[in-house]
Structure 1
Amino acid sequence: MVFASLEFLFYYLPAVLLVYLITPKKLKNALLFVSGVLFYSWGEPVYVWVMLVSTLIDYTAGRLMARTESRKKRFACLIVSIVMNLGLLFVFKYSSFAVGVFNSVFGTGIPDPGLPLPIGISFFTFQSMSYTIDLYRGKISVQKSFVNFAAYVTCFPQIVAGPIVKYGDIASELEDRRVSVGDLSDGVTLFITGLAKKVLLANTIGEFWTEIKALDYSTLPALTAWIGIIAFGFQIYFDFSGYSDMAIGMGKMLGFNFPQNFNYPYMSKSVSEFWRRWHITLGSWFKEYVYFPLGGSRCSKLKTVRNLLIVWLLTGLWHGASFNFLLWGLWFGALIVIEHLWLGRLLKKLPGAVSWLYTSSAVLFGWVLFDTATLSDAWSYFAAMFGGGGSFADYGTLAIISESAISFALCIFFAYDAVSNYISRIGGDNSRVVVVLRPLVTCALLIACTSYLVNSGYNPFLYFNF
């Protein structure tokens, strides 16, 4: 079950929310735990145990850690937590890739395990590990209630696609939270806004990328190739940020304040800035638990370069087990290293349009690696972008331009902060115009999204496989 589905919108979410609001305070976390397991089981009944095992491992490690003052014993508990969680990740996400590489290198014939990837495993294992790491560091207090901890790990709004919420971010809210009318209103508005981004923008523009991606790259006109990858860039942004907005909105309805996950990344004027604005909670996780422990930038230039490349190699692997994702991570890691060493200073001196064009081009090249099946496909697509298909445009290109013009215009408009700037200029969320129009626009968006979901069969979720 996904958020952008009629079953979730009109059955699951209203039912859970209604029961949640009338449930006594002491039982709310138990309801969250049960509803999270039910939500996950709906889409992944076979592997719900993986999420529960990860939860139990880290809860037990935390309790054992709290019972001893011995640094060695606390460290042993932490190591068990990390090894077990990463072990689950390796078995289900990376074992097939590892076996394939091993067979290729050594000429062996080890069978491919072929295990299906449990939904959201990269999200809930990282989230759960943040608890034991921060507990070991003394940054948070132990959670004695298994139900409360399980409610944190299995909280259905962000279990399959984030944001990745560190335990310390919502520790106090797990113990005591209240839902005001304002919270409900803001949560519903943000949820429907995210739904519209996913359904009306991501799905619509994504259909053009799906069409272009299926063509023969060896004869693909250059302009068509550029239109296709730009369409994917918008699709993945509105798809993922839309889901993040829906998760944050549902969090507000339940009394939680989840962290922001996107901040208009396509406005960025450097790759480093782009990644400060894109999937913010993942970047924060790697910075907090990998980059800083390695020494961050508080060491020699050579070690800083090493630290950045390690983080970005792991970021690529987090997204998927393939050479495409590895190269995708190293591509951005290399660019960020170059910006750190000298290019960043130059970009600040260049006209903003030039810096933006460099950043946008670099990101688009990255998306080619991200969404093609193999490195060979990626190279073929790169070649098409630069004329390898033999032509600049054809009649098919003109047809795509005419069909996609409105979708592109809407995506360009909403990918930048024009709306939020306008709201700020007229007095913010409490201005008369916003107070009057917001409920009307929200209702109109819900009707439009419902109509789309009823009538369209195209409704992918790009981050479902991470």
Structure 2
Amino acid sequence: MFFINMNALVAMAGMIAVLMLTRWWPLNKRVLLLFFNLAFLGVFSQKLFLFAVVYTALNYAGFLFLCRTASYRKLWFVLSIVLNVAAVSCVRLFVMEVWTHPLFDAVIWIGLIYYVLKVIDAYYFAYFLGKDAKAPALDFFNYILFVPTFTSGPILKFRDFMADTKKPYSINAAQFEEAVKRIILGLFKKIVLVTWVSTAFDHVLAGELHTAQSLFLMVCFYAWVYFDFSGYSDIAVGIGRLFGYTIPENFKKPFLSPTLTQYWRNWHATLGDWFRDHIFMFFSRKTPSRWTAAGLSILIMVLIGLWHGFTVLYVIWGVYHGLLLALENLLGSTLVNKKKVSKPYFYFRCFLTQLAVLAAIIIYGGTQETVLRIYRGLLSF
């Protein structure tokens, strides 16, 4: 959202210039970043600013408590997670207008949807490392409020961000050039390609739908999601690097994934990694059996579906992907090594994976009425 707003881009460019001019100051990328994050959110939305500061402060207090306490650690750990999940669920109900209140602003949801994942990761870090996990309030606030990954990730890991804070701000000409090229690529995807694809999608959707039109809409929407989301990730990676922080890759050649398991390690990789890391860590500390892995796959994909939205369609999407992943686990076919199989077989498996994803991608495509209309069109020859 921010990255197609000229004022936001100018503000970030100004911040990068300030960081470069103050690189002699060891604390520049920590102290100045906090001022920038707070000022940016304050200008964008006063309600969001107030919510973000209070939410982060409360969780920092909980984080420090979990680092220091020795009594009932597991209880406090679970309670912290439950409270955060309850908070995001309540806000989701406000967005759905199940609940209403004049103080609520939907923009709060934009921040919280990714805030909560980072907060929970910090709690995991505190629970397993104890006193060694302690972090200054300055860095904790920067981690949660980090503007370049604010609305759509990639999702930062607490330990990686804390490691970056200890490094002085440093960027050479080659790194600067690479980051700027990455930002330009992302802007081209979001502004040019997304505009072309979305225009074609809307044009076809406005007409009568038969099999060919519905298939076109599904492929078109798949491209739309990819260009939009990978474009955002490209910009976030580039700006994050210019801010002095390493942002993880979110898209790792997902179209060359020969299994659905590998696909979800390459498509929105940080979200899939987050759910795998935290769910598997919580329910299975040891290497799980095939049946356990299959059950956890279903659970993880249903949770990812609910994370996107509290609707029947998202639950169906989660169950669909979960069952396919579970089947791969039970059959022992979660991985295909490109070096050990023929090229035709490898690319055929990649094609089958894309078909499996394509079959459900349109669920992201709008209202339930629109989605069902496209599916009905598939059966209209």
Please give the range of the TM-score, normalised by the shorter of the 2 chains. Answer: 0.7 to 0.9
1:238 corresponds, among 227, 252, 255, to 227
Q: Is the 8 A contact 1:30 1:147 kept in 2?
A: yes
Take 2:152 and 2:187, find their aligned partners in 1: how far apart are those partners? 14
Identical amino acids, percent of aligned pairs: 23
Equivalent position of 1:289 in the other structure: 278
What TM-score do the two structures reach when normalised by structure 1? 0.73
Map 1:336-347 → 2, pairs under 5 A:
336-342=325-331, 344=333
**Cα deviation, residue 71, structure 1:** 4.3
Q: RMSD value over aligned CA atoms?
A: 2.7
Q: Is the 8 A contact 1:54 1:125 kept in 2?
A: no
Compare CA radii of gyration and give the structure with the larger one: 1
3-state DSSP class of the match of 1:177? coil
Equivalent position of 2:143 in the other structure: 152
Q: Is the 8 A contact 1:54 1:128 kept in 2?
A: no
In the alignment of these two chains, the number of paired residues is 370
Q: 1:35 to 1:2 in 2, by over 3 A?
A: same
Deviations 1:364-408 (A, max 9, x none): 11112222411x54333122123x2x5xxxxxxxxxxxxxxxxxx
Equivalent position of 1:161 in the other structure: 152
Letter in 1 for 2:226: Y
**Cα deviation, residue 351, structure 1:** 2.6
Equivalent position of 2:123 in the other structure: 132
Deviations 1:80-99 (A, max 9, x none): 43233212201111456695
**Cα deviation, residue 26, structure 1:** 2.2
Q: Is the 8 A contact 1:193 1:242 kept in 2?
A: yes
Equivalent position of 1:366 in the other structure: 360
**Cα deviation, residue 40, structure 1:** 2.9
Letter in 2 for 1:378: V
Q: Is the 8 A contact 1:261 1:278 kept in 2?
A: yes
1:326 corresponds, among 315, 319, 330, to 315
Map 1:164-183 → 2, pairs under 5 A:
164-181=155-172, 182-183=174-175
Letter in 2 for 1:17: I
Map 1:26-425 → 2, pairs under 5 A:
26-68=27-69, 70-72=70-72, 74-94=73-93, 99=98, 116=106, 118=108, 119-138=110-129, 141-181=132-172, 182-215=174-207, 219-295=208-284, 298-342=287-331, 344=333, 351-374=345-368, 376-386=369-379, 388=380, 390=381
Deviations 1:157-182 (A, max 9, x none): 11211111011012122123322223
Deviations 1:232-264 (A, max 9, x none): 111111111111111111111111112111111
Equivalent position of 1:20 in the other structure: 19
Q: 1:346 to 1:166 in 2, by over 3 A?
A: closer
Map 1:443-462 → 2, pairs under 5 A:
none
**Cα deviation, residue 117, structure 1:** 5.2
Q: Is the 8 A contact 1:195 1:246 kept in 2?
A: yes
Equivalent position of 1:7 in the other structure: 7
Take 1:307 and 1:166, find their aligned partners in 2: how far apart are those partners? 22
Deviations 1:255-290 (A, max 9, x none): 111211111112222222211110111111111111
3-state DSSP class of the match of 1:170? helix
Q: Say which is worse superposed, 336-345 or 303-312, in terms of deviation.
A: 336-345
3-state DSSP class of the match of 2:258? coil
Equivalent position of 1:106 in the other structure: none
3-state DSSP class of the match of 1:3? helix
Q: Is the 8 A contact 1:32 1:156 kept in 2?
A: no
Q: 1:351 to 1:28 in 2, by over 3 A?
A: closer
Take 1:346 and 1:145, find their aligned partners in 2: how far apart are those partners? 41
Take 2:37 and 2:262, find their aligned partners in 1: how far apart are those partners? 34
Q: 1:356 to 1:8 in 2, by over 3 A?
A: same
Letter in 1 for 2:61: T
3-state DSSP class of the match of 1:141? helix
Q: 1:140 to 1:8 in 2, by over 3 A?
A: farther
Take 2:359 and 2:264, find their aligned partners in 1: how far apart are those partners? 15
**Cα deviation, residue 141, structure 1:** 3.2
Q: 1:303 to 1:27 in 2, by over 3 A?
A: same
**Cα deviation, residue 227, structure 1:** 1.4
Q: 1:30 to 1:201 in 2, by over 3 A?
A: same
- In the alignment, structure 2 segments of 5+ residues that lack a partner are none
3-state DSSP class of the match of 1:163? coil
Deviations 1:317-356 (A, max 9, x none): 1112211111111111111111222283798888334323
| More RCO (CA 8 Å, sep 6+) | 1
Letter in 2 for 1:176: K
Letter in 1 for 2:176: L
Q: Is the 8 A contact 1:61 1:80 kept in 2?
A: no
Q: Is the 8 A contact 1:205 1:234 kept in 2?
A: yes
Take 2:233 and 2:131, find their aligned partners in 1: how far apart are those partners? 25
**Cα deviation, residue 208, structure 1:** 1.2
What TM-score do the two structures reach when normalised by structure 2? 0.88
Q: Is the 8 A contact 1:89 1:122 kept in 2?
A: yes
Q: 1:38 to 1:325 in 2, by over 3 A?
A: farther
Deviations 1:97-122 (A, max 9, x none): 695xxxxxxxxxxx666952521322
Q: 1:259 to 1:117 in 2, by over 3 A?
A: same
Take 2:142 and 2:347, find their aligned partners in 1: how far apart are those partners? 46
Q: Is the 8 A contact 1:61 1:78 kept in 2?
A: no
Deviations 1:29-62 (A, max 9, x none): 2221222223334443322233223311221122
Q: 1:95 to 1:75 in 2, by over 3 A?
A: farther
Letter in 2 for 1:260: E
